[in-house]
Amino acid sequence: LVRPLKAGLIGAGIQASLTPAMHMAEGAAQGLSYQYELIDLQALGATEGDLPRLLADAQTRGLAGLNITHPCKQAVIAHLDELAPDARRLGAVNTVVLKGGRRYGHNTDWWGFAEGFRRGLPDADLSAAVQLGAGGAGVATAYAGLSLGLRQLAVFDREPERAEALAEMLAPLFPEAEITAGTDLAAAMREAAGLIHATPTGMAKYPGLPLDADFLAPRHWVAEIVYFPLETALLKEARRRGCRTLDGGGMAVFQAVGAFRLFTGLEPDAARMLEHFKAM
C-alpha cells in the first residue's frame, strides 16, 4: 500500500536545493509516494508578504509540511499557531508541520548541525571556540555548539552589531557559558580549540578563505556549514595544517532528517540519506 504525501520548500532562489531529492528518495525507500515541491518566491515573483496566501494554499492542497528558508525563516513565525520551544528561543523556523488545520513551527537547523558535529567530530574539545558569521545559519550553529556543551564562544561578523546581538540573545539561554562578540580574531583563535564557520565564504559565488590561514593550528577542529562545494578552501587549508574537519554536508542532511521525521511521522534512515546526499 503506497501512502501519498506532499511537502515543499518556501524560499527565494531555491532552484538548486538538494532538499527535495533527499526527502523524496527517503520517502520512496520507505514506501511513500512522496512529492516535495519548490515554492520559489523568486520564480513566482512573490515576496514574504505572500506567505499567508502560500501557507493557506499549501494547507488547502493537503501538504503535510513545509521547509522554510531564506528570507522567510523569521517572517513565517507571525503566521503560525504554535512554536516548538527551540524555534521560539531561536526566533527562526525552517520546518512547518501542517496538521488538522493548524501550523506548527520547528527548527531542525540547529539540531542538524549538532547531529552532524556529534557524528563527525566526536570528543572534540569544547572548552572554547570561535564562530565566524552571526547571520541566520550562525544563530543555529552557535545554539548547537552551546547545546553540545561549548564553554566559551567568541562570535565574529563583518557587521559587529550582528555578533553583539547574537551574543546577547544567547547569553541568557546558556548562563554557564561565556559568550562574547569577539574583537581580536588572532587572539581568539590562539585561545580556541575549534572554529565554526558560518559565513557564505567558500561557496562558488564567494570564493576564498574566511580568515587568515595562519590563524589555523593543528589543535583546532574546524566545522564548516558551506556544502556547495563540500570541499571548501577552508577545509582544504585546515586539513593541510593538520586540523580535524567537518564538512557542511552534515547540517544539510540532518536538517532534512529532522524535517522528514516531522512531516511523515516515520523514522528516516540517516545513514541512507547521508549516502544519497553524497552521491548527488
- Number of residues interacting with ligand SKM: please give it, by CB under 6 A: 10
Which of 7, 10, 14, 80 is close enough to bind ligand SKM by CB under 6 A? Answer: 14
Convert residues 30-69 into a mask of x (bound to ligand SKM by CB under 6 A) and - (unbound).
-------------------------------------x-x
Rounded to the nearest whole angstrom, what is the least distance from the CB of residue 94 to ligand SKM in the complex?
3
Contact 152, 129 (CB under 8 A): yes
The answer to whether the peptide bond before residue 122 is cis (omega within 30 degrees of 0) is no
Which of 17, 35, 59, 180 is close enough to bind ligand SKM by CB under 6 A? Answer: 17
For residues 227 and 230, what is the distance between their CA atoms, to the nearest angstrom?
4
Residues 68-127 that bind ligand SKM (CB under 6 A): 69, 94, 109
The residue among 140 and 238 lying less far from ligand SKM, judged by its C-beta, is 140
If phi over 0 gives left and psi between -120 and 50 gives alpha, with beta otherwise, what is residue 110? alpha
Q: Chain centroid to CA 34: how far?
A: 23
> Considering the rule CB under 6 A, would residue 255 count as an interface residue with ligand SKM?
yes
The residue among 19 and 131 lying less far from ligand SKM, judged by its C-beta, is 19
Rounded to the nearest whole angstrom, what is the least distance from the CB of residue 20 to ligand SKM in the complex?
8
Q: Which amino acid is at 43?
A: A
For residues 239 and 213, what is the distance between their CA atoms, to the nearest angstrom?
11
Pick the catalytic residue: 6, 73, 99, 205? 73
> Considering the rule CB under 6 A, would residue 201 count as an interface residue with ligand SKM?
no
For residues 142 and 161, what is the distance between their CA atoms, to the nearest angstrom?
16
The residue among 163 and 257 lying less far from ligand SKM, judged by its C-beta, is 257
SS (H, E, C) 197-241: ECCCECECCCCCCCCCHHHCCCCCEEEECCCCCCCCHHHHHHHHC
**Count, residues in the chain:** 280
Rounded to the nearest whole angstrom, what is the least distance from the CB of residue 89 to ligand SKM in the complex?
16
Confirm whether 99 is a catalytic residue.
no
Give the residue carrying C-alpha cell 513551527. 105
Residues that bind ligand SKM (CB under 6 A): 9, 14, 17, 19, 67, 69, 94, 109, 255, 259
Q: Which positions are catalytic? A: 73
